[in-house]
Structures are given as structure tokens and as C-alpha cells.
Structure 1
């Protein structure tokens, strides 16, 4: 099973650019989105995050069930659902202000008890390093997944508006990065983490960490890049016929990359490092199609595997 651990939340999204005060609720959160995208691409996927008893918890459970994601924490919690107030710039790129709640309503014992015995892939959520008391628990979950044979991935997803202690956050993030075999980040994450450093230098720094064997960098309209210990590659975005917005684009791309790697027999630490440029390009192109189809819709609505295959075969 693929397991994605981390936040789920409700995105409160403006109805239009002209009516920012009028908002509609969409289920979201980067790990939540990625889990749904993975399952819709045909992967046996579990989601590890508390779900609230409130009405927004029902909103979160519906798309998980529709996509066939296994909700690993069966008992719902009293804390209110975490919320993100979404705004868009002129290019319809999203930014967020957060109100946290149920995504933090866990204990070490509950998370470890819910982790399956067989985990082939464990993905670390972007909120996990933000607070020390949470990070301590999530680090133990990652270690438990690794001992069960899981390849470890992380989508960094810096949320600077939630970070009160930058030095502490950087240290905690570094601890998670030291556990990861695959690291994904955006060009915005890169600019925040390593201002003045080139993407190539940053990728090399990540690959020098104890376990990292593959780095993927997304660059908005400029496409994506990948770096292994055996080469690098780039791929353009896939442009949908009609553009919706970019919500969940990176999460969808990540799901596509993980799916491609698994089907290629490369989602193992010893094989990630050996990915050659041609393989990296094919991986990025598959991920770009998954992300591009999602961007043809409003909100995060990852495609089915049939939709992806139809584009690839056209």
C-alpha cells in the first residue's frame, strides 16, 4: 500500500476573481489531494490524518471514498476541520491563509497503530515539520514505515504563513529530508529555502543527504526538472484545452511521478539513484499530463488513469 501522512483541510475558494469575499468550500490539503490522485491512478492508497466530526469532515470523506482511498484513522475527532482561505493572483496561482484544527488531533500511539504492516511508499506531508510537538510524532511514523520496507518521499510545500520559528522549522525539515529517498519541491519552495542558490546546486545538496536519490522541482509554466545520481532531465507542462486553475497541480504531478516509478519498477531506493535522463524525462512527462488534466478543472480534481492514458495515446 501507498500511505500518505499529513494534513487534510477545507479550501475556502473565491467564487471569482471579482468576488473575493464570496467563497465556496472545497476538500483539500496537499497530502489529501495526493492520496486521491494516487488512488485514481490505480494505486492501493491509504490516508493517515484525523478527520473531524463536523460537517466539513463529511466533505473531506466524500472524495476519499469516491476515489477508493482507505481512511486509516477510522475514529473521527472532535476538533474542527482545518481550513485554508485561498486567494489567486493574476495568473490564477493560489496562495493560502490557514486555520489549523483536526489535522493536529492525533497521538503517536494512534498513528502508529493505524500504519499498515506492509507499506511500499510513505509520503511525508508538508505540515509535518512546522511544529516540534507534531514533528516528533511524525518522525516516529516515518521511521516505522521505513522499517516496514517503505520508500520515503516528501513534498516540501513550504507554508511560510504557518512558520513562527524559521530556524526551528528549517532544522525539523532537515530531519525529514534526511529520511527521504525522493524529494519534491517547487521553485517557490526553492527560492524560500535557498535564496541565491541555483536549482542545480540545491538539487545536488539534497542528493548529498543520507538517503536522497531523486529530486523533482516544479517550475509552474516552465515545466519540471528531475535530478538523480545518474543524470537529469526536464519536461514541459501539459496544457489542457481549457484552463481552470492550479489548485492541486503539484500534488497531481507528484502522484503521477510515484505511479510511473512504481510501474517502471523503480520505486525503490537502490533503483531511484540509477534513473537515466531518458527515464527521468518519461517520468516527468507522465506527471505533467496528470497535473495538466487537473489544471483544466476548477479546484483539485485529479484525473482517472483512463483519462491520462487517453491523452498519452492521442
Structure 2
């Protein structure tokens, strides 16, 4: 099972009201939550480790996980409020305003997390859950404790406006990078992590030197490239899509990468780094395929496996 560790929150999506004003509709979301949902819909065994509220929004999130066949054994429930993210859309691009103080998600502490189920073979981390303690430190401790036994994928998906202590966040991300096997970044993430004047390839080299054996860079409509410490670069084009919005696109891409790597037997510590170029290309291409479906419809709405008409089941 792939255990997705991080935030589950409510995206408040703008919608026109009857009087031509703007209201907000609550949609289940969060970067790590979206990846878990996408994995479940793709038929990959997936679980979620997060803090969920017992309020109406927490119940909405819990119901959504179960409806997409995500294992909730490791969810920690509390009476704290749910995290809310108000979304603004401009030309299909999403920006966020978060309300997270004292939330069930934010206040997840190390002592809340018990032993992981024995069938957990890979851990996925990322998003705003790595920004602020105590939850951020809880996930760091979990990653360090299971490094070497579980494959670890990290997508920092950096939201600078959400970080309360930038030096502490940089130190935390450095420790996460040191134990990660696969890291996915955008060019914006890479520029924030390494803000100097160095060229892109120098920053990627610094990222790989920090720990991971594979770095995947996504460039929206320009596709994705995997960079390996042995010097190989494998690129795939983006799948053609009529973009409605980009909410959840990167999260779904990550699910596609994890799902295909799992199917090919590559989701082990160091497994993807030792794979052939054709296998790595298949992993990236599947990520691009499922992300293309998500961007073609409103909100974070990943595809079910049967929607991928051209995808053949694993042998």
C-alpha cells in the first residue's frame, strides 16, 4: 500500500450566485488528499495519514476518501476545525488563501501517529502539511523513521505565503530531501529552494546531491523530465487537453507516477533509479495522461481507471 501523508482540506471554489455575485462552494481537496484520491481511483492500494476534523467538512473529506477506496485506518480524528483554502482563479490558474490555525490537520502531533500497517511499502509527502509545526515535524519524523524500508516520494509544492518560519521550513525540507527517493518539483519550486543566479541544471544537480536519486520536473503543457544521479534525462510530452483549470493537476500527476511505478515493481528504495529508460518513460507518460484528464474538468477531479480508455491493465 502507498500511504499518502499530509493535508486534507476544503477548497472553497468561487461560483456565481443568483444575484450575479460570487460565492464559494466547498470541495474536498489538499495536495496530499488529491493524490490519495487519484491513487484510489486508479485502482492502486492507497491509504491516508492525516488529521481530520469531526465537523461537517471533516465528514465530507472522510466520505470522499472512502468513496474513492482510500484506506482510512491511519486517519487521526479530532474536534478541531477543518482547514479551509479559499481559491481564486485567474485564466485557469489557482491561487489560495488558507485558514489553518489550530486545525485538525495543522495540530497533528507525533504521539498521535501509531505504528504503520505492515502492508505500507511506500510513503508520499508534500504540500502545505510540511510548512508549519507540529504537523510538519510529525511528517518529517515519520519519513526519517521509515527511510530505507519504504520508498519515499516528496513533492514540496511550495506555497511561500503559508510558511510561518522560512529558515525552519528550509531546514525541514533539507532533511526530507535527504531521505527521499523521488522528488517532484516545478521550476518555481526549484527557484525557491535555490534562489541564486545559477542555471537550472546547476540547481537540479544541487537537488540530486541533497539526497534523492530521481528528480522529476514538471513544466505544465511542456511535459515532464526525470533527472537521475547517473546523468540520464528522460522526457515525455504533455498529453493534449483542453484546460478548464489546473486545480489538482500536479497531485494527479504524482498519483500516476506512483501508480505506474508500483505496477512495474519499481516503487522500492532506489527502484526507479535502477530502471531502464523505457520504464521511466512509461511512468512519466502515465502521470501526464491522468493529469490531462484532471485539467480538462473543473476542480481536483482525478479520473477513474476505466476512464483511461487507452490504458491497458498490467500483465
Deviation by residue 1:117-146 (Cα, 9 ceiling, x = unmatched): 232110113234322443332222123333
SS of corresponding position for 1:103: coil
1:42 Cα deviation from its structure 2 partner? 1.3
Deviation by residue 1:147-204 (Cα, 9 ceiling, x = unmatched): 6x21011111101111132222111111111110110112221222223333322222
Match of 1:111 in 2: 113
SS of corresponding position for 1:311: coil
Q: Quickly say closer, same or farther: Cα 1:6–1:276, change in 2 above 3 A.
A: same
Q: Which has the larger displacement, 126-135 or 214-223?
A: 126-135
Over 4 Å off, 4+ runs:
none
Match of 1:55 in 2: 56
SS of corresponding position for 2:266: coil
CA distance in 1, matches of 2:74, 2:259: 24
Q: Is the CA contact 1:34–1:254 (under 8 Å) kept in the aligned structure 2?
A: yes
Q: Is the CA contact 2:11–2:86 (under 8 Å) kept in the aligned structure 1?
A: yes
Q: Quickly say closer, same or farther: Cα 1:2–1:14, change in 2 above 3 A.
A: same
CA distance in 2, matches of 1:238, 1:169: 34
Match of 1:227 in 2: 227
Q: Quickly say closer, same or farther: Cα 1:258–1:198, change in 2 above 3 A.
A: farther
Alignment pair present for 1:138 and 2:125: no
Structure 1 segment 16-31 matched on structure 2, within 5 A: 21-31=22-32
Alignment pair present for 1:188 and 2:188: yes
SS of corresponding position for 1:270: coil
Match of 1:67 in 2: 68
SS of corresponding position for 1:284: helix
1:206 Cα deviation from its structure 2 partner? 1.9
SS of corresponding position for 1:217: strand
1:20 Cα deviation from its structure 2 partner? 7.7
Over aligned residues, Cα RMSD in angstroms?
2.2
CA distance in 2, matches of 1:50, 1:168: 22
Gaps of 5+ in 2: none
CA distance in 2, matches of 1:81, 1:133: 16
1:208 Cα deviation from its structure 2 partner? 1.5
Q: Quickly say closer, same or farther: Cα 1:288–1:174, change in 2 above 3 A.
A: same
1:251 Cα deviation from its structure 2 partner? 0.5
Structure 1 segment 138-157 matched on structure 2, within 5 A: 138-146=139-147, 149-157=149-157
1:64 Cα deviation from its structure 2 partner? 0.7
Structure 1 segment 298-313 matched on structure 2, within 5 A: 298-308=298-308, 310-312=309-311
1:278 Cα deviation from its structure 2 partner? 3.1
Gaps of 5+ in 1: none
1:268 Cα deviation from its structure 2 partner? 1.8
1:279 Cα deviation from its structure 2 partner? 2.9
Q: Is the CA contact 1:20–1:87 (under 8 Å) kept in the aligned structure 2?
A: no
1:74 Cα deviation from its structure 2 partner? 5.2
Match of 1:293 in 2: 293
SS of corresponding position for 1:76: strand
Alignment pair present for 1:171 and 2:177: no
Match of 1:4 in 2: 4
